[in-house]
């Protein structure tokens, strides 16, 4: 169900320096984010590049601490500074470098053009207000709607994300919804102002597999209807198999592989990607123990020289421990940060 919104609050974006309607929807170039801690400087994101077009889904995957969520927070402009600091790079929306905008200009972009679904719906929703009030506030603040019209739109949104009896449940509190229904409320809030970019940060965390599938199907259907660009952040490659167009695999703050979803699953070009895929349960393999990636990710305040994955990698040689491999093209539409990417791709 499509909702017609007054986008007058978005007109100011077209007048920002660098704005071009025909520019790539979202571009991240050499993004670097640091956290200054008592133990030293943690380089949480270290030179990440991303491209997102309208209607495209880019999945960002990796273990906890790989820099996925920090990348998303930097794009949204919601990093807590300090201790966080964007140390370099550019984040461009339709050609506009978001890092050069004022706080108010970032807020307008965030409210109307780029939205985010957070991974913990119970924490993200305010427990003392009804879900209808929290949705209505978006319309009243950003669209200047009356209480009556804002509530009507809120009911339409809850209906769009398939919450049964939306007209009644709009008056209920977050704790009265199940985990899956709360996640649908979060999706409704993110889509309220009709953004062009949706960032879904672990949207199926703590949900059972049936509800996970329902949430992912819902996101895919709404994205197709609205022709949004979507960044899907997850640690589970199995979740993205049916919805992503391209995948960026992150490890220790760096992108170590970027490719189309089909190529990634068929012939991974980085040992870390291959190890992640081998740890996913398969229906065609029964009675076989899942592989485990030995060791632990490095401490971000003390990343070792060379390839950060080398201490855990079965392909590692001396060069891997001394020279950091750049993310480079290894095949058409494919990039890998591995000295032995070709060997990894052929070792099926």
- Which residue carries 């920090």 as its tokens? 70
- Cα 54 from chain centroid (whole Å): 15
Report the percentage of the chain scoring pLDDT > 90. 51
The predicted structure's pLDDT at residue 7 = 45
Cβ atoms of 254 and 46 closer than 8 Å: yes
The predicted structure's pLDDT at residue 287 = 64
Is residue 259 predicted with pLDDT exceeding 80?
yes
Domain total in the chain: 1
User: Residues 125, 127, 128, 131: is their CA dihedral positive or negative?
Assistant: positive
Indicate whether 218 belongs to any domain.
Answer: no
pLDDT (average), residues 184-197: 89
Indicate whether 241 belongs to any domain.
Answer: no
Choice among 12-21, 33-42, 256-265, 319-328 with the minimum mean pLDDT: 12-21
Burial 298-307 (b: 16+ CB within 10 A, else e): bebeebeebb
Indicate whether 118 belongs to any domain.
Answer: no
Is residue 317 predicted with pLDDT exceeding 50?
yes
The predicted structure's pLDDT at residue 12 = 62
The predicted structure's pLDDT at residue 8 = 47
Is residue 40 predicted with pLDDT exceeding 80?
yes
Q: pLDDT confidence of 273, banded at 50, 70, 90?
A: very high
Per residue in 324-342, pLDDT tens? 999 999 988 899 999 999 8
The predicted structure's pLDDT at residue 283 = 63
Is residue 208 predicted with pLDDT exceeding 80?
no
Residue 179's Cβ-count burial label (10 Å; 0-12, 13-18, 19+) is: middle
The predicted structure's pLDDT at residue 173 = 94
Is residue 1 predicted with pLDDT exceeding 60?
no
Q: pLDDT confidence of 9, banded at 50, 70, 90?
A: very low
Indicate whether 278 belongs to any domain.
Answer: yes
pTM of this structure: 0.88
Full domain range(s) for residue 341: 259-348
**pLDDT, greater one: 164 or 236:** 164
The predicted structure's pLDDT at residue 272 = 94
Indicate whether 233 belongs to any domain.
Answer: no
Indicate whether 109 belongs to any domain.
Answer: no
Is residue 170 predicted with pLDDT exceeding 80?
yes
Is residue 10 predicted with pLDDT exceeding 70?
no
Indicate whether 274 belongs to any domain.
Answer: yes
- Which residue carries 């003392």 as its tokens? 128
Per residue in 119-142, pLDDT tens? 777 778 889 999 999 999 988 888
Q: pLDDT confidence of 284, banded at 50, 70, 90?
A: low
Indicate whether 132 belongs to any domain.
Answer: no
């Amino acid at each position: 169900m499509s909702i017609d919104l007054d986008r007058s609050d978005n007109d100011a974006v077209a007048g920002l320096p660098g704005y071009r309607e025909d520019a790539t929807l979202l571009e991240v170039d050499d993004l670097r984010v640091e956290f200054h801690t008592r133990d030293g400087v943690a380089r949480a994101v270290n030179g990440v590049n991303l491209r997102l077009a309208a209607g495209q889904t880019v999945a960002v995957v990796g273990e906890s601490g790989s820099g996925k969520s920090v990348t998303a927070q930097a794009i949204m402009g919601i990093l807590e500074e300090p201790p966080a600091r964007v140390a370099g790079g550019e984040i461009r929306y339709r050609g506009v470098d978001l890092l050069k905008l004022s706080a108010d200009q970032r807020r307008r972009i965030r409210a109307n053009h780029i939205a985010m679904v957070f991974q913990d719906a119970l924490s993200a929703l305010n427990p003392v207000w009804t879900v209808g009030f929290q949705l209505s506030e978006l319309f009243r603040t950003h669209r200047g709607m009356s209480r009556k019209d804002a509530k009507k739109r809120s009911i339409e949104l809850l209906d769009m994300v398939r919450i049964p009896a939306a007209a009644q449940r709009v008056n209920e509190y977050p704790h009265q919804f199940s985990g899956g229904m709360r996640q649908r409320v979060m999706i409704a809030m993110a889509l309220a102002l009709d953004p062009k970019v949706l960032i879904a940060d672990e949207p199926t965390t703590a949900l059972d597999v049936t509800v996970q599938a329902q949430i992912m199907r819902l996101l895919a259907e709404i994205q197709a209807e609205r022709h949004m660009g979507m960044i899907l952040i997850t640690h589970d490659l199995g979740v993205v198999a049916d919805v992503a167009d391209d995948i960026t695999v992150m490890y220790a703050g760096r992108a170590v592989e970027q490719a189309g979803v089909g190529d990634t699953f068929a012939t991974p070009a980085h040992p870390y990607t291959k190890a992640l895929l081998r740890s996913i349960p398969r229906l065609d393999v029964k009675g076989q123990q899942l592989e485990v990636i030995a060791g632990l990710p490095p401490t971000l305040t003390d990343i070792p020289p060379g390839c950060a994955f080398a201490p855990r990698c079965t392909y590692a040689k001396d060069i891997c421990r001394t020279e950091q491999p750049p993310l480079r093209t290894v095949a058409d539409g494919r990039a890998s940060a591995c000295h032995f990417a070709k060997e990894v791709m052929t070792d099926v």
